[in-house]
Amino acid sequence: MSSKNIKLTEDQELAILEEWNKRDEPPYISELIQLTFPDIPDDKKNGRSKEGRAVKEFLARKSLEARVTSKHYPKERTELTEDQKEFIYNNCGAMRPMELAKVVFDDPKISSLDLRYKVLIDYYNTIDNKVKYSDITNEDTAAEGGYAPPKSEGRALVRVNKYVHNGINKDKLTSKDKKNLSTLIGYMHTYRFLHQIGTYGIETDRELFESSFVRYTWDKGDLTQEEVDQYIVLSAEVVIASNIQRRVERLQTLLDQNAEDTEGRRMAMSLVEAINTAQTEYNQCVNRQTKLLNELKEKRSQRMSKIMQDSASILNLVELWKDEESRNKMIKLADLKRQNISSEIDRLSSMEDIKSRILGISEEEILNG
């Protein structure tokens, strides 16, 4: 086996996690290497060695980052600015605390042991739970795979605007928007949706599935149960495609690493074959997505066309009445019609005028002889 392919044992991984949880601050990478490889020389107790890369790879899978001696870590407790507090308050309904911390402090690698994160959590806990993202009041629950769909119009609105650019203006909600939000809540409470999203153990997969489903259905308040199921399948295919891509990237990394030594070249053919198989699976997955999406679009288009044909006249009349300018014109035309009828009645009410018309002589001719 190539020395570049060191993989930590379960005992080593457990030892790292136990050591990590003992500390108030993240341990140094050299300390973790020493812990997992006690006999390693001092010159290899760094992230560049094969042992160090194995430790760093494990930490990356757990979204953890060990400290390095060359990096500065703040010792003093920072305080949030008013702008940061405002951002946290306005977005805590759509983002988890860790997501907020990464944006607020502009640090995508910030950890839960960072003092800045603890400051953010202290402020986050002062916010009313009704405002917060409902399924993350306790991050441990989310980490264990818990999921709570939106139960109110406000929560559904937050989900839509989280995943859809220029989604819905909360200050200008129309009746159609409210209907779509209500039906979206129903879609996300179906057993099949909850079952499917509950199968994902990785948070990124769960969010990708939810985001895909919301983007596909948030503006479609007329879906049948069959179509909802199909959109769930479509969203699941998106996650499958993403996982295949990750697998291809890992295989490609292994191929690049093993190509550097003689023993690794023997594995190259197997890795190439595995990459080709994964690429084929990915292409098949994309084709399934395209076919299913086209079927859903065509089916809905046909249904909407029939509805529009059946109710075109009444809809046009209603829309015309809703338009203020058109409504005023219709009222004015009705008033003119009533005036014309009234004038005609007054004209016909004179018997002399009727007699003159019958005899074929006008009033002027009689007066002038």
One domain for residues 127 and 175: no
One domain for residues 91 and 112: yes
One domain for residues 57 and 93: no
Lowest mean pLDDT among 54-63, 197-206, 248-257, 258-267: 258-267
Q: Is the residue at 284 inside a domain?
A: yes
- Residues 241/208, Cβ–Cβ less than 8 Å: no
Q: Is the residue at 66 inside a domain?
A: no
Q: Tell me which of 145 and 213 has the higher pLDDT.
A: 213
Q: Is the residue at 322 inside a domain?
A: no
Average pLDDT, whole number, for the chain? 78
Q: Tell me which of 199 and 310 has the higher pLDDT.
A: 199
One domain for residues 284 and 260: yes
pLDDT of residue 146: 64
Answer with the one of 143, 158, 186 that is the final residue of a domain: 143
One domain for residues 120 and 157: no
pLDDT of residue 104: 85
Q: Is the residue at 30 inside a domain?
A: yes
One domain for residues 344 and 264: no
Domain that includes residue 18, residue range = 3-61
Q: Is the residue at 318 inside a domain?
A: no
pLDDT of residue 346: 64
- Residues 117/110, Cβ–Cβ less than 8 Å: yes
- Residue 361 pLDDT exceeds 80: no
CA distance 157 to 228: 19
Q: Is the residue at 205 inside a domain?
A: yes
The per-residue pLDDT for range 83-93, each reduced to its tens digit, is: 889 888 888 87
What is the per-residue DSSP string for 99-125? HHHHHHTT-TT--TTSHHHHHHHHHHT
One domain for residues 231 and 278: yes
The model's pTM is 0.47
Lowest mean pLDDT among 24-38, 116-130, 329-343: 329-343
- Residues 257/2, Cβ–Cβ less than 8 Å: yes
pLDDT of residue 312: 59
- Residue 136 pLDDT exceeds 50: no
One domain for residues 126 and 150: no
One domain for residues 159 and 221: yes
Q: Is the residue at 319 inside a domain?
A: no
Region 98-114: mean pLDDT is 80
What is the domain count for the chain? 4
CA distance 337 to 331: 10
